[in-house]
Amino acid sequence: MNNRIAASKPGDEIVFNGPCLVNETIKLLGQRTYRGGSRTGTQIKQADGANLPAIFASDSYLDNSPTTGLPFSLRTLTINGNLANNPTSGDSIVLRSWQTTVSDIEINGSGRDGIRLTSLSANGTEISNTQVNGRISNMQINRSGRHGIKVEDPGNHVTDWQFADNYIAGTGGDGVSIDNTAGWLITGNHIYGVDGQTALDMNRLYGSSVMDNYIEDFGEYGMYAAVQGGAASTIANNRIFKFNDGTGTFLFVRGNYANAFVSVTGNAIRGNGEGIGLDYQRGSAESLEVASTGNLVSDVTVQRQIGEGVTVNTGSRVAADGTL
């Protein structure tokens, strides 16, 4: 498989057919399309004892490039991490390429993360440019040892992606963990069976939109959002439920720096008699302003908690002439 990919040219489509047993990471070169015939027809399985750091990975990650990889598309197949026979294996897919799309893939039994989107290379080299404008959609990610999705960005490189219409089930850590959520659209995802702390952990929201997601069961937080100053973000029409045992916070929002603004509207929260529904805290920001309206919060101990330095209102509409 790697030999065929290495011999391909920009613009080529590489098609994976039938069941494939792999004992080497598959390097994904940019400017190409990679696809299977169907989820059931194309099965990529990690061989017993291979313990690969990744099953698929961007070339810039494996080559320790100082810049992001070129765009590619990967879609329509199933990946079997075969965790029972690869106890020290890593991720199923590692992305370090911009304008890249990954869709219609089922991932089962990853040793670490189902997908890791990272600004770092295999040896820890951080990119010097940006890694933006990609899309992860229509995935089914089951039984990940750590996170279903991990966005790893210690700097400020991985922004303005879309994470849409995915199913994340059964994670040892957080369901989805995002270091940098600036400019992201996160919509239509179903996250459930989370054994770690947080179902949807989002840091550094800046002009971000989080909407129409469905969360069932979590450890400490259903949705955690750390909001930057300088641009407003929206958190709307999400459903966050907890049917498993224990308490926790369903939707937690905190400021990160400067004057942070966020709109939290139309969310439906239901617990099992414990926990905090909405929790707004200034954090390390100078202030946090929240437009909070139309949220349904039930069967929790505390419906809404507001910390010092936080302003909560119902929002306002400005007319064409500038009046409220």
Residues 6+ apart with CB under 8 A from 233: 205, 206, 207, 208, 209, 210, 225, 227, 261, 262, 263
Do 32 and 8 form a contact (C-beta atoms < 8 A)? yes
Give residue for tokens 């909405």: 278
Q: Determine the Cα–Cα distance for residues 275 and 263; give it in Å rounded to an integer.
A: 22
pLDDT in tens, 271-287: 999 999 999 999 999 99
Q: Would you kindly state where each structural domain of the chain is located, as residue ranges?
A: 2-309
Q: Which of these, 157, 163, 99, 98, lies nearest to 129 by C-alpha position?
A: 157
The b-or-e profile of 237-246 (16+ CB within 10 A means b, else e) is: bbbbbbeeee
Predicted confidence at residue 245, as pLDDT, reads 79
What does the alpha-carbon distance between residue 270 and residue 268 come to, in Å, rounded to a whole number? 7
* Helix (H/G/I), strand (E/B), else coil: 321: coil
How would you classify residue 97: left for phi > 0, otherwise alpha for psi between -120 and 50, otherwise beta? beta
Going from the C-alpha of 218 to that of each of 3, 48, 177, 269, 292, the distances in angstroms are 43, 32, 13, 13, 23
pLDDT, tens digit, 9 for 90 and up, residues 35-69: 999 999 999 999 999 999 999 999 999 999 999 99
What percent of the residues of the chain are helix, what percent strand, and what percent coil, each to the nearest 5?
5, 50, 45
Query: Whose CA is closest to 240, among 225, 227, 251, 253?
Result: 251
The alpha carbon torsion through 68, 164, 197, 141 (nearest 10 deg) reads -80
Token pair, residue 232, equals 């407003």
Mean pLDDT, 10 residues at a time, the chain of 324 residues: 97 96 98 97 98 98 98 98 98 98 98 98 98 98 98 98 98 98 98 96 98 96 97 98 90 97 98 96 97 97 97 78 61
How far apart (Å, rounded) are the C-alpha atoms in residues 159 and 99?
11
Q: Report pLDDT for 320.
A: 61
Q: Are 307 and 278 in contact (CB under 8 A)?
A: no
The amino acid at residue 320 is A
Query: Strand 19-22 relative to strand 43-46: parallel, antiparallel, unpaired?
Result: parallel
CATH architecture of the domain formed by 2-309: 3 Solenoid (2.160)
The encoded tokens of residue 257 equal 């720096």
Length of the chain: 324
How far, in Å, CA of 91 to CA of 265, rounded?
Answer: 35
Start-to-end CA span in the chain (Å): 62
CA distances from 268 to 26, 49, 263 (A): 42, 45, 15
